[in-house]
Chains A and B, each alone.
Chain A
Amino acid sequence: MNTVVCMKQVPDTETLIKVQGTGIATDGIKWVMSPYDEFAVEEALQQKEKMKAGAVTIVSLGPDRAIEAIRTGLAMGADNAVHINDSAYYNAADPFATAAVLAAAIKNLQYDCVFLGKQAIDDDSGQVPAMVGELLGIPVITQVLKLEVAADKSKATVTREVEGGQAVIEVSLPVVLSAQKGLNEPRYASLPGIMKAKKKPVDVKTAADLGVTAGPATAIKEMTLPPARQAGKIIGGDDAAAKAAALAKALQEEVKII
C-alpha cells in the first residue's frame, strides 16, 4: 500500500511563545514534528508493515529547517519525501494555500491513503485535511482513531471520534484521513533508522514547480497572547457555613454563573 503523509514542523510544545508582528519570535525555538503528524506517520508505517508492501512518502511545506522534521519521519521509516520549500507559501500560513501545494505534490505520487494530523499544533486551523481531500477529489475522514484497510485495498473501515462517542465508517480508497490522538503510539526513530535517513531521497520543490498559482485566501491581521489569568480569590469566613454562603454569593453576584 502506498501512502502519503503530510507533515508540518512546529515549535516544540514546551516553547515559551513570544508574539512578534503578526507572527511569533522564532529565535531560540526548538522545532519538532507536529504531534498529530507523528500519529499520521506512525499509521502510514504500520499500514505498510501490515501489507508488507508499498512506500511511505512524506510531503511537507516549510523552510530549510523543515528538513530536520522530514529526516525524523524518514528515520522513523518513511521511504522518501517531497519538501515544498517556498517562502510565499509557508510564510502565508494560510490553510488553502497550504492545501493547494500539498495536493499538487500528492497528485504526482501514487497513493491509496493520505494521512495528516487532525491539526498542526501551532496555527491550529484544522482545515488542511478537508481541503486536501477536496482538491484531490477523494473522500475525507477526520479525527481517525482506528483504521482497517481491506487486503485488496478497495475499501477501509475507519473509526472516528464524534461528540461523546465513536462512528465507524466504511469508505472507498483512495481516502484522506486525519489522525486523532489514540490512533497509535508513535515509535522512536531507531539509531539504524537515523543513520539511513540521510541517504533517502528528498525532492525539493517550489509552488511554481508544482504548477500552483493559488494565493492565500486569508491574511493574519494581528497576533496577541491570551490575556493573563487574573489572581484567584480566597473566600474567607468564620466557619464552613459562612464560607459556603460567601462563595455562593460571589458566584451569583461577581461571576454570575449561578
Chain B
Amino acid sequence: MAFQMTSEQEMIRLMARDFARKELEPHAGRRDREAIFPQDSIRKMGELGLMGMMVPAEYGGSNTGAVSYCLALQEIAYACASTAVTMSVANLSTEPLLRFGNEEQKNTYLVPLAQGRMLGAFAVTEPEAGSDAGSITVRAEDRGDHYLINGTKIFITHGAYADVINLIARTDPKKGSRGLSAFIIEKSFPGFSIGSTEEKMGLRASNTVELIFEDCRVPKENLLGREGQGFAIAMNALDSGRIGISSQAVGIARACLDEAISYARQRRQFGRNIGSFQAIQWMIADMATQIEAAGWLALAAADRKDQGLPFTKEASMAKLFASEVANKAAYKALQIHGGYGYTKEYKVERLYRDARVTTIYEGTSEVQRLVIAREMLKE
C-alpha cells in the first residue's frame, strides 16, 4: 500500500495545475457564457502531451499512466470542467486504437492523436440507444471493398472539432450487441457531416453535436478490430472513460469546496463570518470528507489500470461515487452562497450546472450500479 505520488506524478500534477490556473481559469466563465470551444487551449494541451497520456512513447504518447492522468484531469477540471471533458474524451479516443488497432491504424491515427496534432472523438450514443448501447441502429453494410454507413449519432463530445471519430455501428442486424463493430472515421469521408449542436445546461464550452452518416463510404482497412467486436471495444473504452469522468467530478467538487470556503470566510451575517456557524461548518466538513474519499476511489481505479489489473468495477464505483459527490458539493456550495449563488455573478452557479451531467454521461449512476452489482454477484 503506497499513498505517495512518484516525483513524476507530482510534477505532472503541478504542471497541469499551473497550466489550468494560468491558461484556463481566467477565461472559463466567459467561455461558459458565450459557449466558446477552447480550441487554442486544446491545441496547447495536445502539445504538452495531455491528450495521449496512456499511449506508449513509440506511438507518440506521453505514457504517464492512468494515475497521472487522473491527477492532471482533476486540475484541469478544477479550472474548467468543459476543457476537462474534452481532454477526457480525447484520451479515451486513443484507447480503442491502442488496444484493438493494427500497426498501420496505429501509425496513421494513434500517433497524431497522442501527439495532439489531431483531436479524437467517440461515437456510441443514438436517440434510441443511450444506456442500452446494444440497440444501436447506425448501420454499416459490407459492400465488398468498403463499408457503407447510414444513420445518426447524438450527444457526441467535440464531434464538430474532431479529426478522427471512433464509431460503433451495426454490421449484423440479427445479433444484438454481438452484431456491432467499430470503425475509424475521418472527418473528410464523403457522406459524413455534422448535424445540430446541443444547447446544454452546463459544460457549455464543450461541443456536443449530432453526427450524420448518409451513404458514408468507409474503407475496409478502417474497421477496428474484427466485425462483432464493437460492443466489447466500446465497453472497454468506457471503463477508462469512467476513470476520466470520476477525476473530472473530483476536480469540480474541489472547486465547489474552495468557493464555499472562501465565501464562508468573507460573508458576514448576524455580525460574524458565516463560516463561524456550525451549520456551515458541517456542510464544509461533509464536502471535504466526501471529496477526499472520491479522490482516492478514482486514484485506486487508475492504479489498478496501471498495474494491469481488472478495473471495471473500481472505475464504476469511482465514477458513481465521485459524480454524486460533485453534485452534493455543488448543491452545498451554492447553498452556502445563498441568493448570490443563484446568480451568474458567482462561479458556483457555473459549477452547479457543470457538475450535473457527471451522474449521466459515460454511464448514468443507475448503469454504474448495474455494472458494480453484476461484478459483485458474478460467480
Chain A residues with a Cβ under 8 A of chain B: 68, 71-72, 75, 188-192, 194-195, 197-198
Contacts and interface: CB of A to CB of B under 8 A. Distances in A.
24 contacts: A68-B7, A68-B11, A71-B7, A71-B11, A75-B11, A75-B15, A188-B18, A188-B19, A189-B15, A190-B47, A190-B49, A191-B48, A191-B49, A191-B53, A194-B12, A194-B62, A194-B64, A195-B8, A195-B57, A195-B63, A195-B64, A197-B8, A198-B7, A198-B8
Interface string B2-26: 0000011011100100110000000
A188 B8 contact: no
Contacts of A72: 11
Contacts of B49: 190-192
A194 B13 CA distance: 11
A191 B7 contact: no
A191 B19 CA distance: 12
B50 interface: yes
Interface residues of B, number: 18
Interface string B54-65: 000100001110
A191 B57 contact: no
A7 B329 CA distance: 41
Interface in B25-66: 47-50, 53, 57, 62-64
Interface of B: 7-8, 10-12, 15, 18-19, 47-50, 53, 57, 62-64, 68
B323 to A, nearest CB: 26
Contacts of B18: 188
Contacts of A71: 7, 11
A192 B62 contact: yes
A195 B11 CA distance: 10
Given A188-B15, A188-B19, A188-B48, A194 B8 contact: yes
A190 B15 CA distance: 8
A194 B63 contact: no
A84 B51 CA distance: 36
Nearest to B60: A192
Nearest to A194: B11
Contacts of B15: 75, 188-189, 191, 194
A59 B19 CA distance: 26
